[in-house]
Amino acid sequence: MKMMRVVGVCPEFRALAALLLLPLGQAVAGGWEDGIVLDEGSGVAMPHDGGIDGQVAPDQFAEAPVETVDPGSEHPITTLDDATGPQGLVNEWNHPTTTGPCEPQYQAGMVQPCHVAHGAAQWAFRADALVLWRDAPASRPIYSTIVPGTDELGPTVLNANNLNSDVLAAPRLSLFRTNCDGHTFETTYLYAGNFYAERSLDFVPDGYATSPPGIYGNTWGPPDTSLDSASATLIGQLQSLEFNTRHCIWGGMSQFLMGARWLQWNETLQMTDSFSYAEPDPVAGKDFYETRCFNNLWGGQIGLDTLLLGQAGQKRIEGVVKAGAYYNAAGQASNFSYVLSDGGSFSNQARAGGPPACSFVGEVGMTLVLPLTCSCDFRCGYTGLWLTNLAQPTRQLSDQEINQFDSVARLDTSGSVLLQGLSLGLESRW
Of 121, 125, 123, residue with least CA distance to 100: 121
**39 part of a folded domain:** no
Structural domains of the chain, count: 1
pLDDT, position 370? 96
Length of the chain: 430
- Chain centroid to Cα 248, Å, comes to 15
Under 8 Å between Cβ of 201 and 232: no
**333 part of a folded domain:** yes
Structural domain boundaries enclosing 208: 116-429
Of these ranges, 34-43, 100-109, 253-262, the one predicted with the greatest mean pLDDT is 253-262
Least trusted range by pLDDT, from 136-140, 274-278, 319-323: 274-278
401-402 and 283-310: which strand pairing? Answer: unpaired
**383 part of a folded domain:** yes
pLDDT tens digit sequence for 146-155: 998 788 899 9
Contacts of 88 (CB under 8 A, 6+ apart): 97, 98, 99
21 falls in which pLDDT band (50, 70, 90)?
very low
Q: Average pLDDT in the 80-84 region?
A: 42
Q: Residue 337 above 60 pLDDT?
A: yes
Task: For the chain, give the mean pLDDT.
Answer: 79
198 falls in which pLDDT band (50, 70, 90)?
very high
pLDDT, position 179? 86
**395 part of a folded domain:** yes
Domain of residue 353, CATH code: 2.40.128
pLDDT, position 180? 78
**77 part of a folded domain:** no
Least trusted range by pLDDT, from 30-34, 39-43, 104-108, 261-265: 104-108
pLDDT tens digit sequence for 156-182: 999 999 999 989 999 999 999 998 777
pLDDT, position 121? 64
Q: List C-alpha distances in Å: 251 to 110, 281, 315.
A: 10, 81, 19
Under 8 Å between Cβ of 402 and 149: no
**222 part of a folded domain:** yes
How far is the C-alpha of 427 from the C-alpha of 377, rounded, in Å? 5
Q: Average pLDDT in the 85-93 region?
A: 36
Q: What is the largest CA-CA distance in the chain?
A: 154
**20 part of a folded domain:** no
Amino acid identity at 316? R
pLDDT, position 71? 52
Of 98, 102, 134, 93, residue with least CA distance to 121: 102
**270 part of a folded domain:** yes
Under 8 Å between Cβ of 142 and 173: no
Helix axes 11-33, 2-9, angle to 10 degrees: 120
How far is the C-alpha of 226 from the C-alpha of 150, rounded, in Å? 12
